[in-house]
Amino acid sequence: MFRITLVAAVVASFALTAQPAAADGATYYVDATAGDDSGPGTDEAHPWKRVSEDGTADATYQIKVTRPHDGSTSPPARATLSTSGAWLGDGSYDVTMNLWYGANAGVFILYENGKEIARRDLTLHTPSPQKATVAVTGRRNGVYVYTGELVNQVGRTPTTSVKVEVTHADPGEPVLSGDNWDGDGDYTIRMNMWWGTNATTYRLYEDGVLVDTRQLAPATPAAQSAATVLTGRPAGRHTYVAELVNEAGATSSEPLTVMAG
């Protein structure tokens, strides 16, 4: 068998011409752009154009990759970063890169607090505008600084930066109410979250024990509600607490006390 060391991806096609057989234990060099299959292929100055067709030889191949030039004559112009939806402070928003005019890029890279979180391929049409948007979700409370880079085959250019402060990643506070006007053991507990970061799960606890759970459809900052119908509750004082949960955390209501029986 043979081993291949890939230096990058070969993008050029090549014609099939006569090629010496590969030898066991040898190292061969392959250059799909500048190689020549009639040569020895055993040094970088005389590479083959393709890997040997003899797949039985235990040989090593060093493959040189040639990428087609993207046509750039200068590094990308500087782009601007902006956000949308971040004012809600709920940890979900878009970060958008706009290059208004100038040398284009082939790649946009987005960093969050110095760590790469997204990469977008771009189509070059210098000097036309370029735009890319990255959706950011599920960020917990904290400060996030976004920077970016535009890259072409001539160079890299940093974008402007933008800061987002997430202050309301956890769900808004739920409020409980009951309707046990006649004091029996059958009543409904209603939960309302009037405005704020939405939850994906609702839970209701009775005297510390989970008695209801259900999924909610988030649509921040719209109101959310749920109702739990309870029957046959034993006589006495019962305390209810609702909990709203999303991927950032959980928020509990103030306790609601109901007398039954």
Can you name the CATH fold of 80-166? Immunoglobulin-like (2.60.40)
Greater model confidence, 60 or 83: 83
Alpha helices in the chain (DSSP H): none
Q: Structure pTM?
A: 0.65
Helix, strand and coil percent figures for the chain, each rounded to 5: 0, 45, 55
Confidence of residue 14 (pLDDT cuts 50, 70, 90): very low
| CA gap 97, 108 in Å, rounded | 8
Residues 6+ apart with CB under 8 A from 182: none
| CA gap 172, 232 in Å, rounded | 31
Identical fold between 80-166 and 175-260: yes
Does position 47 have pLDDT exceeding 50, yes or no? yes
| CA gap 59, 191 in Å, rounded | 71
Query: Which value, in Å, is the radius of gyration of the alpha carbons in the chain?
Result: 31
Residue type, 48: W
Q: Does domain 175-260 have CATH number 2.40.110.10?
A: no
Domain ranges (residues) in the chain:
1-68, 80-166, 175-260
Confidence of residue 36 (pLDDT cuts 50, 70, 90): confident
Residue 63: closest CA among 35, 30, 36, 41: 30
Phi, psi of 118 (to 5 degrees): -160, 155
- β-bridge mates for residue 119, sequence order: 109
144: tokens are 């996030």
Confidence of residue 227 (pLDDT cuts 50, 70, 90): very high
CA–CA distances in Å: residue 113 to residues 92, 153, 172: 16, 26, 27
Weakest-pLDDT range from 16-20, 88-92, 118-122: 16-20
pLDDT tens digits for range 116-174:
999 999 999 999 999 999 999 989 999 999 999 999 999 999 999 999 999 999 999 99
